[in-house]
Amino acid sequence: MKKRQQEQGPLVTLEIDGYSSDGAGVARLDGQVVFVTGGIRGETCKVRLDKIGRSAIWGHAEQVTDPSSQRLTPDCPYYQQCGGCRFRHMAYAEELAAKRSRVEENIRRIGGLDLPVEEILGAAQPERYRNKAQFPVSTGPKIGFYRARSHQVIDVADCLLQSEAAARLRTAAKAWMAAHQITAYDERTGTGLVRHVYVRTNRQGESLFCLLVNGKGVPQEAALVDCLRRAEPGLVGVVLGVNEKKNNVILGDRYRTLWGQGFLMDTLCGLSFRLSVPSFYQINPDQTEILYRKAAEYAELTGGETVLDLYCGIGTIGLTMARQAGAVIGAEVVPEAVEDAKENAKRNGILNARFFCGDAGEAARRLAAEGLRPDVICVDPPRKGLAPDVVETVAAMGPKRIVYVSCDPATLARDLVRFDALGYHPQQATAVDLFPRTAHVETVVLLSKGEIDSKKVRVEFSLEDMDMSGFQKGATYEQIKAYVQEKHCLKVSSLYISQVKRKCGLDVGQNYNLSKKEDAKVPQCPPEKEAAIIEALKHFQMISW
C-alpha cells in the first residue's frame, strides 16, 4: 500500500511589505503575519502556506507575479537546500536595507528607544570573504553544510562565501575518506570517526587544515597529509582535533599537529596575529577593519585614555585601540585566548596593553575594587549579550564613553535599556555587514552620560495608582511581548505574562491583571505561549533555570 502523499497547504496571493529577523519576507493574510521564504519587499507573490500557527503563518514564494527590481536569480545551486545564505535571491543593496531596518526595529520595539541607525557599512566584496570554514561530515561520505533547521548534511562541493582553498581541501578530505573507507560520526549513536572538516585561511593565501574526530587518531594519517598537500599548494599545516564527547560541539579539547605548523599568521589593522585552531577571530577581515575603525571613532581616543576591553578574545579590538590610547586592559574568560592576546601584544611591540583571565563581570568588579576608573569601556559580548551584573558594574565604573559591539540586535536592544536606566544613553549607532548573504549583522553603539542643559523641571506624581511592573529588575511587559513576537511569532497578553511570572515566582503586584468579578473565568496561558514567555524571561535573565 502506497503512502499517501503529504497534502500541500493552500496557495494565496500576497504582497510582501517587510522582512523578518531571519531574512524572510513579511506579508499579512486576514490580519495574521505571514513569513514568506524567498519574498522581497514590494513584490506580489503566490505563496504556498506551509504551516499555519495561532498567530502567524509560514510559507514560501512559489511564484512571483509582480517581481521587485531588486530580485536576482540565485547563483548558487545549493541555495534552496543549504541553511547558510538567506539573501542570495536579492540585490545586495536591498539586503543591506533589510539588515539596517532590522537593527532599528529591534532597538525601537524591544528596547523602546528612539535611536536611528546612522548607516550600514556594506562589504565591497560580498563573496569569498570567509577566512574560516567548518564543514560537518556524515555517512557517504558527505561533507558540506546542514540543511536549514536540521542536522541533515548537504554535500556541497563549493560555497561562494568560502575561499577556493577551503573547497579544494574539503574535496581532498572527502576523497581520502572514500579511498580508505573512513567512517563519519553519527550524532544519534555517538559512533563513527570524522566529525568536521575545518579550514582556516589568511590574506597571504595560506591555509591551515584541521580534521575533528571522535577518537585519538585516524588510520592512514600520512595518506591524509599527502592528499591535502597535493590539493592545496598554500597549505602550511595539518592538525588533528580530538572530540570524543557525545554532543554536537564542533571543536575538540586536544590538538595534535600531523604535519607542518599548528597555527596560521594573519594581519588585521596593520597588526600581526597568531591563530591556532580554537582561536576566536572575525571571519571577514576587510569588514572587521571597518567595524574596528568605527569602534575607535566612537571611543574618541586622543592618546591618554585608559580603555577597558571586556570579552577581549585574542586582543584584536584592544590592540588596535592601544596605539591611540594611554593604556589598554583586556579581560577574557578563555585562558588560551588570554595567552594569545599577551603574545600578540608582544609580537606587535605594544607595551601599553595587559590582559588577564576572568569572567567579564568578575573582571570589571576586580578592577573597580582596585580603583580603576577607565575613560572608555568596550564590550564585545557573545550573542547572548551582557549579564545584568556586567551592565551594573560597567556603569558603576563611571566611564566617559561605552562602546558596545553587538552581533545580535535583540540582546543589544535589551542591554541598551539597562544602560539607559543607569544613566548611560545611546548616542549613535552604526550597522556593519560582516556576514553578507546571511541573516547576521553587527552593530556598534556609542553610549555616554547625557547632560540636561535645559531648565530644571519639577514633576509631582503619585505612585498609588501606578503600574510598577515595568520598573522591576528585568524586562517590561512590552519588551517581553516584543521579544516573543520577534523570536516566536506569537502575540502574548499582559495577563499571560503575569500568569507565567507568578509560576516562576516573580513579583507581578498583588492585583495585577486579576479580574474584578468574583466568578469571572480567567483564560489561562496556552502551553505554546507559556514556553515562549519562559524563554523570554530566561533571555532577559529574569530567571536562570
Residue tagged 580603555 (cell numbers): 307
3-state secondary structure of 468: coil
3-state secondary structure of 512: coil
What are 348's three cell numbers?
Answer: 606587535
How would you list the strands of the sheet with 44-52, edge to edge?
A: 11-15, 44-52, 56-66, 32-37, 25-29, 18-19
Q: 32-37 and 56-66 as β-strands: parallel, antiparallel, unpaired? A: parallel
Q: Which residue is catalytic, options 85, 227, 378, 407?
A: 407
The whole-angstrom separation of Cα 349 and Cα 362 is: 28
Distance of CA 349 to the CA centre of its chain: 32
Contact between 127 and 117 under an 8 Å Cβ cutoff? The reply is no
The question of whether 227 is a catalytic residue gets the answer no
List 63's β-bridge partners, or say none: 46
DSSP 295-363: HHHHHT--S--EEEEES-TTTHHHHHHHTTSSEEEEEES-HHHHHHHHHHHHHTT--SEEEEE--HHHH
The residue ranges of DSSP E strands in 38-131, in sequence order, are 44-52, 56-66, 120-121
First to last CA, the chain: 48
The whole-angstrom separation of Cα 324 and Cα 477 is: 43
Contact between 256 and 238 under an 8 Å Cβ cutoff? The reply is no
Picking from 154, 152, 153, 160, the residue whose alpha carbon sits closest to that of residue 87 is 160
Contact between 534 and 504 under an 8 Å Cβ cutoff? The reply is yes
Contact between 383 and 407 under an 8 Å Cβ cutoff? The reply is yes
Catalytic residues: 407
